[in-house]
Amino acid sequence: MTFLECTRCGEQFSPERPNTVCPIDGGVLYARYNLSSIKKTFSRDALAQRAANMWRYAEVLPDAEPVTLGEGFTPLLSSRETRNVFIKDEGLNPTGSFKARGLSAAVSMAKRYKLEKLAIPSAGNAASALAAYAAAAHIEAHIFMPKDVPLANRIECDMYGAHVTLVDGLISDCARIVQERGKSAGWFDVSTLKEPFRVEGKKTLGYEVAEQLGWKLPDGIIYPTGGGVGLIGMWKAFDELEQLGWIGPERPHMIAVQSAGCAPISKAWDEGKDVSETWAKASTIAAGLRVPKAYGDYLILNILKKSGGVALSVTDSEILDAVRYWARVEGIFAAPEGAASLAAYRKLRDGGFFAPTDVVVLFNTGTGLKYLDVVGAGPSPTMKRPPARQIGGIIGPY
Ligand SMILES: [Zn+2]
C-alpha cells in the first residue's frame, strides 16, 4: 500500500496514521498499491498454495497482521435451475454475512494503528461483524443500531461483549449519534466508507469471482445495495486485476438491487442523477437495504453507468417469494437482502436485459438463519402473504 487517494479530488494521504474521509471535500479514500511492482512477484498461480480465505490476496490488501476468523473464499455455486447463473453464498462467512470481509480488514488496520475504541452505526450485520472482530482483536466496540434490527444481530453483539445502543430510528440516525458523540468518547468511526479499509476487505469479492470463474468475468453481477461497499469494492478489484495483467478490459454489467421500500439509488438512476436523495420513511423486511442515503452513492451510480448496468427495486413480497424459492430449489436459505438478487434477476430476464445464456453472478449477502424472526413470522406455509411483522421505521411492533 503506497498511499490513500481521494475519489473526488485525487489528493493523496499517508496510510501510516488513521484516516477517515478526505478533509477537503469528504470524498471516500481508496487504498492504492504499487501494482506494477507487485505484479513481478504475485501471480495467479501462486494462489493455488494459499489458504481459502480472503487474505490469500494479501499483496493487494492493507499491510497489517490479519485479525481473521476465516472470512472469504465462500462458494460460488452454479444454480441447480440455470447452470450459467451462479450464487455467491456469503452466508458462510464468520457471523453469517459478507460484512465479515470489510470488518476483518478494518479491524486489522485499527489494531495496527493501536486504536482502542471503535464505533459503528449499523442496519444489523455490520454490527455483528464488528463485534466479533473487535472481540478477536481485544478492541472495544460501540454499536448503534435501529431498535428493530433482526433479533440475531442484537444477541450476537451482546454475546461478543460489545457496547450496544438501540436507537429509535434508522441507520442514518445511528450515524448521526456516532458522529456527535464520537470525538469526546474517543471512538474511531468505522462507518461504511468513512474509513478506507472496509472497501478493501469487500473488494476480495471481485478477486474471488474472477478466480472462481477461471479469470473470466461474468456478463453480469447482481448486488443487493444498501451502502454498496461490495459493488464499489468489486469494481476497484477489477481495475487492479487488469493492472496486474490477470484479466483484460472486459467488465460485467453491474446491477444494484434495492427494496421498493427504500430505493434511493434506484430512484436516482431512473432520474439520471449522479447522487441520490435521502429516502423518506424507509421500510423493508430486508434490514440491510434500509439505508436511506448511501455515503458512496456517487461512486455506485458512476459504476452502474460505466459498466452498462442498471439499478432496480423489488418488493418485499417478491423478496420473500425469492427466499422461499431459493431454499426449496437450491438448498440455500438466503437473507432477504440476498434473495432480492434472485427477484432482480427474474425481472431482468423477463425484461430482456439478460439473455438466458448470460453468465450472471447473484450475491447472497448472508444467511437466512439470522432472520428467523423476520421471515418465519406467522403460521402460514406460504410466503405469498404480506409479512406479518414489517420491520421498518417505527412500524415494527414489539
Ligand atoms: Zn478530496
Digitized pLDDT (tens) for each residue of the chain, 398 residues in all: 999 999 999 999 999 999 999 999 999 999 999 999 999 999 999 999 999 999 999 999 999 999 999 999 999 999 999 999 999 999 999 999 999 999 999 999 999 999 999 999 998 899 999 999 999 999 999 999 999 999 999 999 999 999 999 999 989 899 999 999 999 999 999 999 999 999 999 999 999 999 999 999 999 999 999 999 999 999 999 999 999 999 999 999 999 999 999 999 999 999 999 999 999 999 999 999 999 999 999 999 999 999 999 999 999 999 999 999 999 999 999 999 999 999 999 999 999 999 999 999 999 999 999 999 988 865 555 545 555 555 555 544 44
Cα separation of 259 and 283, whole Å? 9
Q: How far is the CA of 250 from the centre of ligand 1 (A)?
A: 29
What distance in Å separates the CA atoms of residue 77 and residue 83, rounded to the nearest whole number?
9
CA–centroid distance, residue 23 to ligand 1 (Å) = 7
44, amino acid identity = R
- DSSP β-bridge partners for residue 310: 255
Which one, of 33, 71, 39, lies nearest residue 53 by Cα? 71
* 57 DSSP assignment: G
Q: How far is the CA of 199 from the centre of ligand 1 (A)?
A: 17
Instruction: Give the Cα separation of 374 and 290 in Å (integer).
Output: 14
Nine-digit cell string for 173? 440516525
Q: What is the pTM of this model?
A: 0.93
Contact 303, 310 (CB under 8 A): no
pLDDT of residue 398: 45
Distance in angstroms (rounded) separating the CA atoms of residues 215 and 117? 39
pLDDT the model gives residue 221: 98
Q: What is the pLDDT of residue 123?
A: 85
Distance CA 108, CA 391 (A): 33
Q: Distance, CA 183 to ligand 1 centroid (Å)?
A: 22
The single residue listed with the C-alpha cell 472470512 is 71
126 CA to centre of ligand 1 in angstroms? 26
* CA 35 to ligand 1 center in whole angstroms: 22
- Please, what's the b/e burial string for 331-346 (b: 16 or more CB within 10 A of its CB; e: otherwise)? ebbbbbbbbbbbbbbb
What number of residues does the chain have? 398
Residue 28 CA to ligand 1 centre (angstroms): 8
Distance 318 CA to ligand 1 centre (A): 40
Cα 54 to Cα 38: distance, rounded to the nearest angstrom:
17
> Rounded CA gap, 117 and 126, in Å?
16
Interval between CA 275 and ligand 1 midpoint (Å): 16
Question: Rounded CA gap, 222 and 231, in Å?
Answer: 9
Please name which of 295, 162, 273, 161 lies closest in space to residue 228, comparing C-alpha atoms.
295
The per-residue pLDDT for 74 is 98
Burial zone of 360 (CB within 10 Å; 0-12 exposed, 13-18 middle, 19+ buried): buried
Q: Report how far ligand 1's centroid is from the alpha carbon of 21 (Å).
A: 8
Report CA-CA distances (Å) from 174 to 122, 160, 327.
7, 20, 33
Rounded to 5 degrees, what are φ and ψ at 353?
Answer: -65, -45
